[in-house]
Every structure is written in structure tokens, then in C-alpha cells.
Structure 1
Amino acid sequence: MEADIKETRATERKRFDRLDWMVVVLLGLMVVLAPLLAASFVVLPAMGLFPPIGLLDWLQAIGVPLMMLLVGLAALIAVVREWIRPMPIGGAPALTVLGLCVLGWATLSLGQAHALYLGVDTLALLVAVLTTGTLASRLSRNKDAFATLLIALMLGGLFVSALGINEYLAAWKQGAFSHRVFGTFLNPDFLAGYLLLTLPVTLAIWVASRERLLKLSAGFALFLQGGCITLSASRAGLAALCIGILSWLFLCVWSGAFRGRWRSPALGLGVLLLSFVVASTPLRFRATPVSAAQASASRPVQSSAENDTGASGLARVGAESHSLLFRRYTWHGTLRMAEANPLFGVGIGNFTYAYPRYALVAFTAHAHNSLLQWASETGFVGLCLLLMLLAAASAFAANALRLRRAALSAPAGDILESFHRLFEEPAVLLCGLLAALLASGIKTLVDSDWYVVATALTVGLCFGLAVGLARDIAPLSTQLPTALRRSSLMLAGLVALGLVLRSGQLGFAAGWRAQAAEALFHQQPEVAIERLKAATEADPLDPELYLELGEIYDMEGLFPQEQAAIQRAIRVAPIAKAYYRLGQFYEKQGQGAQAVAVYQHAYALDPNNLQVLHHLGDAFLAVGKTQDAENIYRIMTELEHAPYGTVRAMGDELVETEFVYGQVGLAEIEMRQGQSAEALKHLEDADALMRLYWSRRNTQAYAIMPASKREALYQLYLRVLADWRQALRQTHAGASALAAVAQEESRVQQDHRNDQVAPTSPPSS
């Protein structure tokens, strides 16, 4: 049997044709582009119609479907190649079965999804990840192909790190020395989560490389990646990296991969340590202790411009202290959701819209724990299947290291056949891949890193390369190579074709949507409407497209079309956001009873949504249901002092002004009922929030706030002061109290006039 395996292994290397290399090129291109263009969540809710600026923005607009398209095309080519010339390859049947079980169970969970488009898109990403791993494993039979994909992985980390460091240098020139880099990702923590997959691999390439040019390139990439992950100031990321590096050292020593050659590993660790020291400023800023006096000062009430920057900085530091607490409450809410849906979960990809019913704190698009989020979306059975797949793949690679250790310690260990012209010892590379996956697995327990497109695809690639390399260096650990059956190839072809078609739908819809945003920017609403209609035809499952179409209809006064668009959004995805938008429509049309009914639907789906509560309370008042309105406003005031209002996400400098509507609404009801003393308490709380917002209104956190929203908050501030003055009169307060309110009102009005004449440019940090 051993002779048969050796003969088949030699045949595998020879039978690698142009079609195989086309697959390698497509996967390599995906690996490099994914962190540059597809770093967002695959199911991230739309952020509004913003026109792309430049080629990179246009590519970003279609980034997710482009990555799926590259993987789908690679899979189709691989199926055609196997159909024409079947290639017997030693496989791991347990991994194949477990992968199919994970995919099948996730597909079954779609039956629980309220937002089908989220489930379909996330399922497509899962297919892309599993396909990436499968293709990488099969392609690794050719060592040149393996080296190409491994170097592409290093280059992806290099380019992202270069962009991140350039971002920090731009901030540093403006004096923002504590700036945390985002790179191409949504936040610094996700950037760190991605680099955890590339850094240990880059270190392994540095140690194992034979060629001087490759070693220099790996050293340069190692320095940039180490500096970039430090500039992200992600404490969890750096802790996971340390564990990953230590595990890499342990595995290399245990497997005998170093074989006494410690100079190269020591130099690599020295380069990494130097990058940490050079780029440590943001991390040292986060580690600076905050005094109790500073913490209490993080809610300033003065509105003077000289206090803006300091207040913002203190608020940011204060928010940092809530990071872990916010995660704990989020984990608790996610676990409640998983326990309520233990078998199939709420549907793959549906966390965003299902979680609010179980949330204890403010909105978050992810669970800050990939495994816990997977359990909530696919049930505990889905979680068990995923863990079994990860454990089986890791055990497969670890067993290869054990066999390699035995081979290296044998008398003939020094004359083992050369692995590749670029690399000396393959075990060093396999240890690097396993260390990267371990570090990423640890980090994803505190962030949903594996729900980020670039990170998810890179995880699939790393597992595939690890399994392929393990099969190559320890062929006796696999079964006798066999070719794929035609039925299996047909099924794989159908799945790949489905991935290509879905990526095409998403790509065309994203392209039309970007063109609609550009037309709207140039004040061409008719063109924007046509582009969005084309987008809905390309992807009829996405409710966001219908809601955006409804916004344009509203601006043009086409109210019947607006109503039809919103109702279509509800039909394709009965989510709270769509019901809320329909309630706003009825409210503007003076249809109070219909508005109340629709807002109640939104409230049932998202009971802590302050905007829904605010408008539901107002709608109750409009139809004369004062007691119901009072109950809603009291819910809002209770939320303000509950964990929902007191525990905020890390780095959140925005003031939650929606609470003010609840305080004002409740105070106005109480004043009509003669309870002016109680009303005063609510108005004082409302005024404190408005003063805090007013002091920060021109900071970077509010840079993209629309002018209409700013004007609405200004009017809300005046409403608070007017009600406060009325309540003071009803309680026969002294002239000094009335004068203070009048003085504050005068100052606010003067600030507003100044903002209108010469808007304050938001600071750079």
C-alpha cells in the first residue's frame, strides 16, 4: 500500500495543468483582494446611499460579491478539470462528511430566518469558505501551487498593514498620536483579527525560506504586520498573537522542525518585538489608567469650544472601560437567544434582526463571539458540527506533525527529500498555519472575527493549506487516493454555479445601487429611481433596496409609490426597520391608527429600539391614548438608567439623544396632569443630555450627521428649555432659576446662529 501511495503522490505532482493553475491564480487573487475590498460583514445593514468616490470605492461597493465570484469560478474550473481528467488524491473522508453536515444544517436553519436575504448571503459566504478550504487542500498536492497561495496570504497581510501604517502616519501628522488604525476594516479589532492569520504564517515563511529575496520580503512583511497590529491597539488581538507565537514555538520544538537552527527564529522574533516597540503609542494610551475624577468628568455640561476636545477624549477613555462589560451583556443576550432556539437557531445570518428581542444593551451587528453567534443562528447542533469540523482538521494536521517528528528523529531524518526550492522544512510552515488558526480562534471568542468576509475566507484558506500540507508531508495518515465520482462532481458543480449566480445578483445590485447614489448626489432623482429599480430586479430579496427606493419616492412626493415600496420590503423581510418606516409613512400622512398598529409590530420585533418607542409614544398621543403613551415614555426613561443606557460599546462618543424625547414626552404629560415637580426631574435629565450633546456637536463623532438631524436636535433643545421654563413657573420657582434657563436658551441660540454662519470643522481626532 505504501508503494501505491508513493507512486500516486508522484503522479499528483506531474498532472497539474493549466486549468489547475487558473484555479490557483483565482484563489491567490481572492486572498490578496479580500482584505482590501471585502472587509465588511457579509450581512452588514445598508448605511444609506453614499456615492462612490474613485475606483477603490467602486470596487469596495462590489467587494463581497467579487470575492464570492472568484471562489465560484475557481470551483467551476476545478470541477471541469476533474471531469475531463480525474485526479486520484488522498483525502480525509471525515472532514468531507463533517463539512457537508455543517453546510446542510446551516441550510436547514434558513427555515427559521425572517430576513431570508441575510440567510442566503451568509450561506453563500459559508459555501465560499468551505470551497476555498477544499480547493486549497487539493491544490497543495503541487508544491509550487502551495507556495503561491502561502505567499499570497503573506502579501494580503503586507498590503493591509501598509495601508494601516499610512493611515496612522496621516493621523500622526495632525497630532493624533493615540489614533487606532482601522486599515480597510470596520474597526481596529477586526483588523487585528485578520492579521492574526497572516502574522504567524509570515514568521514561519521567514524561518523556512531558502531564497534571500523571499526572506527579505518576509522580514519586511513581518515588521509591517507587527507594527500594524500594535497600532490597532487591540489588547485581545495582541494577547492572542502572543499565545499564537508561543504555540508556534512549542509545535516547532515538539515536532523537531527547528532541528537546532535557532538563529532564524530568534531574528524573526526580534524583528517582531522591534515593530511592537516602535508602534506602541496607541497601546500605551489605552493602558493609561483613568482616575475617578477624570471618569466623572467624562460627561461635561459646558458648551464652550475649548472643552470640546478634552471632553471628547475623556468620553472615549471612559467608553473604553465599558468594552468588556458591553461584551458580557451581549454574550448573555446571545445565549438567551440560543437557548430560546436550541435546534435550528434563528437562521444563519439573521443575528442582526433577531438579537434585539433578547438584547440587554444597545444595538450591535454581531455577538462579539463567533461561536456563540453561530450557536444562536444555527442552534447548538450547528455549533457542535462546526466544532467537530474544526477539531478534526486540526487533529489531522497535528497527526502529520507527529509523523513528521518520527521521520525527523529517525536515522535517515537528515536525508529526507527536499520539500521545495523556496522552503527548507515544511513542518515550520505547518506549525505556523496551526498557530495562526489557534490565535484567530482565541480572538474570535471576544469578537465575531469569522463573520468578517476577509477573515472568514482567510480562515478557510489556512485550514485548507494546513490539511493539504499535512497530507503531503505525511501521506500515510490518509486513505488510499481515489478519484471523485461523477455524481459528486455534478453536485459540486451545481453548488459552484449557485455561488456564481448569487455573487452575480449581489454584484449587479451593488453596482446599480452605487449608480443610484451617484445620481442622487448629482440631484437626478429620476435616474436614481431607475437604478434602484434595476437593483431590486437583480436582487429581489434585499429589503434595503426597497426602503431606499421609498426614501426617494418620499423626497419626490410620490407617496403611493413610497407606500408600495415599503410594503414590498416587509413582504420580502418582515423586519422591525421596515415596519418602522411604514409607521413613519402613516404618521406623515395623518393616519394615526395605522401608524400605531405598524409601530407596535416594530416594537414587538425590537422592544428596546428608542426610535420605535419614541414614535410609538407620539403616535399614541396623536390618537388620544395618553396612558399608553405615558407607559411607552416610562419604558424609555427606564432604559436610560438600565444597562441598555449605561453600558455603551467601546469608543462610542455619541450621546443617545433619543432618551430626551422620552423625558420630554413624559414631562409634558405630567405637566398637563398637574405633576410639575415630577416633570421638573425629567426635564433636568433631558437638559443634561442635551447640554452634553451640544458640547460635542462639532466633534468628529458627529461629522456625518445630516443637517436636518442637527436642526431637529436644536429644536428639541429649545423644546426642553421651553418646557423647563413652564414647569419652573408652575412650581413657583425663583427668578434666578428662570434667568438661568433663559441664559442657557440665549447661548444655545447664539451657538446655532454661529454654526449657521460658519460651521465648525470637526477636529481630526
Structure 2
Amino acid sequence: MKRPRVTDRSAERRLSRARVFAAAGGALAIPALLLVGIRGGMLADRPPLSESTTVLELIAVPLAGVLVGVGLLLNALAVRPEREAHAPETRATALLCAAFIVWSALRTAGAPYLHAGLVVLAVMTTAAGVGILIASAWRSPKTLAAVVAALVAVGGILAIMGLREYLTEWRNGNPGWRVFAGYSVPNFLAGVMVSILPLTAMLFVSVRDRLSVLGIGLLLAIQSLTLLLTQSRLGVAALVFGGIVLAAGAWRAADNHRPGSILTTSGGRRAALMIALVLICGLIGAGPVVGRLRASRDQSYSARFRVLTWKGAARMALAHPWTGTGSGSFDVAYPKYAVVGYTQHAHNGYLQIAAETGAPGLLLLLTIVVGAVSAGIRALRTPRREDWPLGDERLIVAGLLSGFAAALAHNAFDSDLYVPGNLVVLSAIMGLLIAVRQRSLRDVPLPKDHRDGRRSALAGRGAVGICGLALIVGCGGLLAARSWSAIGLGALRDRDALRALDAFRLASSIDPYDPEPHLLAAQIHDSLSDPTAALTDLRNGVRAAPIGKTRYRLGKYLAARGDTEEAVRALEQAREFDPHNLRTLLALASVYRSAGRTRDANGIYREMVQLHHSPVGRVRAMPEVVDWEYGIAYAALAEDALKSDTPDAALPLLRNASAILGELWRTRDDLLVRLRVSSESMREASSRYEWVLEQEANLLRATGRTSRADAVAATLRRFRTEQSDRTARDEQLSD
């Protein structure tokens, strides 16, 4: 049967329909980009379920996933014209993205922490969907310009949040504060800023009306200042690298392809003003960065920690070279290969991809990057089009390429690819590069017999539609579960335990692989004096995610109830997952003691002392926060030595315990310490510190070292005074 002839009128209708659907899909990508860019700053989208967590932090990413899923369905309904030129890198990049998502999905099935793997897969699919929707909107320059504006707006809003945060801390007497702006660490915020800053700069250079120049100039200034206030040295270095790429791209994008002609226009004067503006902001915000550079101890800690983390991540990747350990599994699989303390990410996005998805995943990712860069470079060579509504299209492409290059460089030192905000911004940039490249082929003459493959087009639309449905179902379920979790957290803030329990039950029934609602329900049941229900919740948490964290919580609760045999079993299993976890080791040693297994307990304490002298104890992710658990181990061994009547062995142990626990007490009011050390842990460490000082003073006096004993006794008196004042202040606050 012959195919019906396609008339010019039907082709026009098809083109108009495709343009409308693609523009609608691209429009849905914009709120998704804003949501995730501003509120998607948690690593692997795992915000902590605590009373301080906001609703938007919980639902931003899954809500964006639903929006992108709807956009992909609209995109799949668009029937493209048969006579249309396509850049080879456009289709290749789309196929490679699909292959990467499929491979990641296959590797999610084998992940030890299935919930984390599914969330990472949803984030990656959402990001890929954002890129697809933006690239498909290439026929609508207004939609593409709106995406550019949205990217600059993300950078501007984050910069405003960061400046407000810094000013608050500065007024509170903390001028060395590093800004977070809702991201889990300042380095991730720096990764977003270096992606957007070059685009803002090129928009500043190329817009025409004065009001836009003033507004974008202000955004450029505060974005530059916020980047410096993150105090990310590698972020600044990545921006410098991006600046080199920006200069080359802007030179190449000069008018009429005459290199250097841009320097003789008003845009050249604007470029000089831009450089002056950035330098002024650099001088204003240089103080905190210079101060951190001068803190050579912290700087060496940071560099050494990264290098040793890379070694552990490389060992992990080499142990599973082809399949990896599973998507989203780094923080639960890495501890077995670690040579330093705990970290949630590899501090290198490419290395983490290789560790989790194997060599095939890394190869697919690098090929996608090459395709996007190739599309951007080719887009620079196209002539200027008058239908572009926002600045100079080629200068915008230069800014996009520069931000893309800076982000890729920053990923070599931090796992930005696993932060939803960073990944979605990067994907939006890729989508814009491909869209502009596709626009450059709009007027390319085609042979009269040219037809796009009908079957391949149907297959592509089907794949996009399936991806959209998967996002709607998966992210819709995650959105519902997190909404109930948010309701539960709100009930906890209102001290309504029963309503919180109902909400967490619903959350766990919708998302059965998330252990957090079970763990929160266990806390509530424990506070209601219902140990049976609490124990059931904890066991359900282990079934949902049989990882170290859930087994540790179960073991601690069993130990508190006196079930030492089951507690030992749970804590030993937790130790298998994370051999260097200090809380697990302390809890296991304590249970061994309760069970009368003193030798086993002392073996754990000695192991902790060895860890303290190894890179695990000496090189920490946050040197500002002392690992107080080592002090407890030293104190326990000192106590055993005193019982064995070996004071010569006890004294150095007491000194080490005093040094560690004393440092924790001295830094007790630091914000990072308050965030990372719970009040229960602080009480335990303080009680042990008092005992250590008392025993050390007595032992020194008994051995005739009176002056040293008096100094320790003075420290003990000062500690007791400070502790009494702190207790009185806490009681006043509670009243």
C-alpha cells in the first residue's frame, strides 16, 4: 500500500503542532529547573528527616520529576516533520543518554540500598528529561531565551540566599562563615555558581537596553561575591578555567567571524566593565578566601582527604570494574575500601560514576559530554539570527560552553553529578547547546527525496513517552511519600505523636524501601513507652534497607532493652557494612562489656586507638569537628588499666582522652559541632571528660607530679564551672 502524499498544508500543520508541543514541554522544564536548582542541593536528594526540614526541601525534586514527566509525554505526542535536518551529535547524544539511563536502571537493581538507588535514578532521569525538553524546543527561540533567563535567575536567587546567610552570621560575629544557600555543603553551591556565572557575564555583555544591563550587572556582582563566600578554592580555580574557555568562545563568536571585532564594539566596552565589576567583587569577598588559604592546616587536611578518598574510590571501582556496586550505593559500599574517615561521596563525580556503574557507565557519560561540547562548538560557527530575543545568541553559547567546562572541571574534585541542583543545571546547559546547534540547521537545504526514518522516529517518541510515564509514576509515588513524611514532621513539631505515626505509616506504605519513616516511628513509639512497637518499626527499617545505619539503630535499641545477644548480632552486622564507623564500634564494645566479654570489648577499643593513629583518624572531612569517640576508647582502656593496677599504662591513655574530649568541650559552641554532635553525645563525652580529668589529677598526685596534677585539677574546676553555667542557661531557655 502506498503512503499518502503529504501536502504542504499538512506539513505546515504538523510543524505547527510539533512546535506547540515542544514549546509546552520546554515551558514545563523551566519550573522544574527553578525548583531543583534552588531547592535540590542535597547530595543524592536525601534531605534529613528532621523537624527543621522544610516541605519544599522534601518535595522539590519529585515534584520537578512529575513536571518533566508530563513534558516528556507532550513531547512524545508531537509528530515531527519528515523533511527536517538533524545534527548527528544531537541524535547521538540522545541515544547515549537513553543508554546511560537504562544501564543505571539495570545497576540500580543490584544496589545494596535500593531506595537510594531508585532516588538517584529518578534524579538522573529528571535531569536527562530537562535536557531533552529544552533541546526539543529549538524551534521556539522565546522558550530557549526563557530557559537562559531561568538559569540566570537560579544563580541570582541562590546568591541572594547566600548573601543573606552570610550577613546574618557576620552580624553574629562569624566573619569566616562559608555560605550554603540551602546546599548540603558550600562546595556544591560553588559548583552551581561556576556553571551559571559565565552565562550571566555573556548576557551582561550582549543585552541592549540599559535597565537589563543594570539588573544583570547586579546579578553578576552578587553571584561573583557568593562564589567567593563559599570559600571554595577549587570553585574559584574552576571558574578561572571556565574564563579561559569563555575568552576563546567569545573571540570565536565575534561579529562576522572576524576575531577580535567584538572588542571594538559597545560589547567590548561592556566586557571591560564586566571584568572591572568581577574584580571589585573579588576584592570585597577576598577576605574569607584569603583567610582560608592562610589556614594551611585545614587546606592540607582538605587536599589530603580528597587524595586518600580517591584512592579508596579507585579501589572500589577496580573491585567491580564492569558492573560497579550499583547506582546510589557509594556511601554504603565505600567504607569497605576506605583508607580515611567516612564520606558520602567520592569528591570526584567521574570516579563515583565508575565505582557505582562500572566502566560502561563512565564511558557513556564521557561520550555524552563530548557530544554536547561538539554541538556547542559547532553552534559558535553559525551566523547571527535576528529572531533570538535575548542578547547575542553566539555570545550566549560561549557563556554556556564556559559554564559547562567549569562544571566539568569542578566535578573532578567534587561529586556535583550526584547533587540534583548541579546535575539539572548542567543538563539544561547541554540542552541549550544542542538546541542552538539544531537551530543552525534550520535553513540547510535538503535533497528532494530526504525523509527521516519513520520507524526510528516512532521508536524515539515511544522511548520519550515511556520515560515520561516512568517519571510520573516513580516521582509521583516519591512525592506522595515525602508529602506524608512532611506532614509527620509537622505533627512532631506540634507534639502530635499519633498524627505523626499515621503519617509515617502512610509514607512507608507508599515507599516501602525508605527506612527513615520506620526509624522515626520507632522514636515516637519509644517516647510513648511502647517498646514492642518501636522494636517492630526498627526491624521493618532493617527489612526496608539492610544497611549499617538501620542495623546500628536496631542494635542500640536492643542493647538498651538488655537483649545483648541480639544486640551483638545486629551491631556486628552493622560493623561489616562500615568497619570504621566509630559509633558502631563504641556501641559494640559497650554491648560486649555488658555481656561480660571484656577481652572483646578491649579489642574494639584498641582497634579504635589504631584507627586514631592511622589516616582514618588523622585525616578527616571536617577537621573543625573532633571525633570524640576516640576519647571514649582511650578512657575505657585507661579504666581497664587502672583496674589492673598498671598506672604507668593508664596515664598516657588518660592524657590522650583528655586532649580529645577537651577539644570537643572547647569547640562545643561552634556551629558545625552543634550540627554534628547530638546533645546526647555531648552529655556522654562531657561526663567521661570529667571522669578522665579527675583520674588524671589523682594519678599524677599519687606519682609525685604535683604541679602537673594542680594544672589538671584547675582544668577540672574550670570545666565544672562552665558545665554548671551551661546547664543553668539551658534550663532558662527551656523555661
TM-score, with length taken from structure 1: 0.87
Q: In structure 2, what is the Cα distance between the partners aligned to 1:477 and 1:743? A: 89
Are 1:452 and 2:419 an aligned pair? yes
**What is the CA deviation profile of residues 368-420 of structure 1, one whole-angstrom value per residue up to 9, with x for unaligned ones?**
11111111110122111111111122123323435x3xxx6xxxxxxx65342
Of 638, 652, 657, the match for 2:628:
657
Change (3 A) 1:649 1:19: same
Change (3 A) 1:490 1:226: same
Tell me what 2:67 maps to: 70
Q: CA deviation at 1:242?
A: 1.8
Tell me what 2:386 maps to: 418
Of 434, 437, 455, the match for 2:404:
437
Are 1:519 and 2:487 an aligned pair? no
Q: CA deviation at 1:290?
A: 8.2
Change (3 A) 1:255 1:662: same
Tell me what 1:679 maps to: 650
Q: In structure 2, what is the Cα distance between the partners aligned to 1:481 and 1:155? A: 38
Task: Could you tell me which runs of 5 or more consecutive residues in structure 1 were left unpaired when the two chains were aligned.
Answer: 292-315, 409-415
Q: In structure 2, what is the Cα distance between the partners aligned to 1:584 and 1:168? A: 39
Q: CA deviation at 1:202?
A: 1.7
Of 395, 404, 409, the match for 2:374:
395
Q: In structure 2, what is the Cα distance between the partners aligned to 1:569 and 1:759? A: 34
Q: In structure 1, what is the Cα distance between the partners aligned to 2:706 and 2:195? A: 66
Output the aligned Cα RMSD: 3.0
Change (3 A) 1:706 1:119: closer
CA contact 2:316–2:355 (8 Å) conserved in 1 = yes
Q: Within 5 A, what are the aligned runs for 1:288-437?
A: 288=291, 318-402=297-381, 404=382, 418-424=386-392, 426-437=393-404
Report how many residues are paired.
714
Amino acid at match of 2:394: A
Q: CA deviation at 1:487?
A: 4.4
CA contact 2:336–2:579 (8 Å) conserved in 1 = yes
Of 720, 723, 734, the match for 1:749:
720
Change (3 A) 1:417 1:47: closer
| Farther-moved stretch of structure 1 (271-280 vs 29-38) | 271-280
Q: Within 5 A, what are the aligned runs for 1:673-752?
A: 673-704=644-675, 706-724=678-696, 727-728=699-700, 732-752=703-723
Amino acid at match of 2:579: P
Tell me what 1:300 maps to: none
Q: In structure 2, what is the Cα distance between the partners aligned to 1:520 and 1:583? A: 25
Of 448, 466, 470, the match for 2:437:
470
Higher relative contact order (CA 8 A, sep 6+): 1
Percent identity for Structure 1 against Structure 2: 27
Q: In structure 1, what is the Cα distance between the partners aligned to 2:651 and 2:568? A: 28
Change (3 A) 1:428 1:282: closer
Are 1:207 and 2:173 an aligned pair? no
Q: In structure 2, what is the Cα distance between the partners aligned to 1:760 and 1:480? A: 79
- State the secondary structure of the residue aligned to 1:42: helix
Q: In structure 2, what is the Cα distance between the partners aligned to 1:477 and 1:221? A: 41
Are 1:32 and 2:28 an aligned pair? no
Q: CA deviation at 1:111?
A: 3.4
| Farther-moved stretch of structure 1 (330-339 vs 731-740) | 731-740
Q: In structure 1, what is the Cα distance between the partners aligned to 2:649 and 2:289? A: 41
| Farther-moved stretch of structure 1 (668-677 vs 110-119) | 668-677
Q: In structure 2, what is the Cα distance between the partners aligned to 1:673 and 1:247? A: 68
Are 1:90 and 2:86 an aligned pair? yes
Q: CA deviation at 1:626?
A: 2.2
**What is the CA deviation profile of residues 128-182 of structure 1, one whole-angstrom value per residue up to 9, with x for unaligned ones?**
1111111111102221221121122112212222222233333344444333322
Q: CA deviation at 1:728?
A: 4.8
Change (3 A) 1:220 1:741: closer
Change (3 A) 1:422 1:743: closer
Q: CA deviation at 1:581?
A: 1.0
Of 278, 284, 288, the match for 2:287:
284
Q: In structure 2, what is the Cα distance between the partners aligned to 1:47 and 1:562? A: 20
Q: Within 5 A, what are the aligned runs for 1:38-187?
A: 38-44=40-46, 47-51=48-52, 57-82=54-79, 90=86, 92-187=90-185
CA contact 1:88–1:481 (8 Å) conserved in 2 = yes
Tell me what 1:544 maps to: 516
CA contact 2:229–2:289 (8 Å) conserved in 1 = no
CA contact 1:112–1:344 (8 Å) conserved in 2 = no
CA contact 1:154–1:198 (8 Å) conserved in 2 = yes
Amino acid at match of 1:147: A
Change (3 A) 1:719 1:176: closer
| Farther-moved stretch of structure 1 (149-158 vs 452-461) | 149-158
Q: In structure 2, what is the Cα distance between the partners aligned to 1:507 and 1:696? A: 39
Q: Within 5 A, what are the aligned runs for 1:447-596?
A: 447-474=414-441, 485-596=457-568
| Farther-moved stretch of structure 1 (539-548 vs 393-402) | 393-402
Tell me what 1:261 maps to: 262
Q: CA deviation at 1:736?
A: 4.8
Change (3 A) 1:273 1:640: farther
CA contact 1:90–1:482 (8 Å) conserved in 2 = no
**What is the CA deviation profile of residues 335-366 of structure 1, one whole-angstrom value per residue up to 9, with x for unaligned ones?**
11111111111111111111111112222111
Q: CA deviation at 1:542?
A: 0.5
Q: In structure 2, what is the Cα distance between the partners aligned to 1:758 and 1:711? A: 15
Q: In structure 2, what is the Cα distance between the partners aligned to 1:670 and 1:431? A: 68
| Farther-moved stretch of structure 1 (703-712 vs 628-637) | 703-712
Tell me what 1:305 maps to: none
CA contact 1:668–1:723 (8 Å) conserved in 2 = no
**What is the CA deviation profile of residues 584-633 of structure 1, one whole-angstrom value per residue up to 9, with x for unaligned ones?**
12211212222222211111110000011111112222222222222211
**What is the CA deviation profile of residues 290-343 of structure 1, one whole-angstrom value per residue up to 9, with x for unaligned ones?**
88xxxxxxxxxxxxxxxxxxxxxxxx7732431111111111111111111111
**What is the CA deviation profile of residues 710-753 of structure 1, one whole-angstrom value per residue up to 9, with x for unaligned ones?**
32222121232344356557x74455555544443333222211
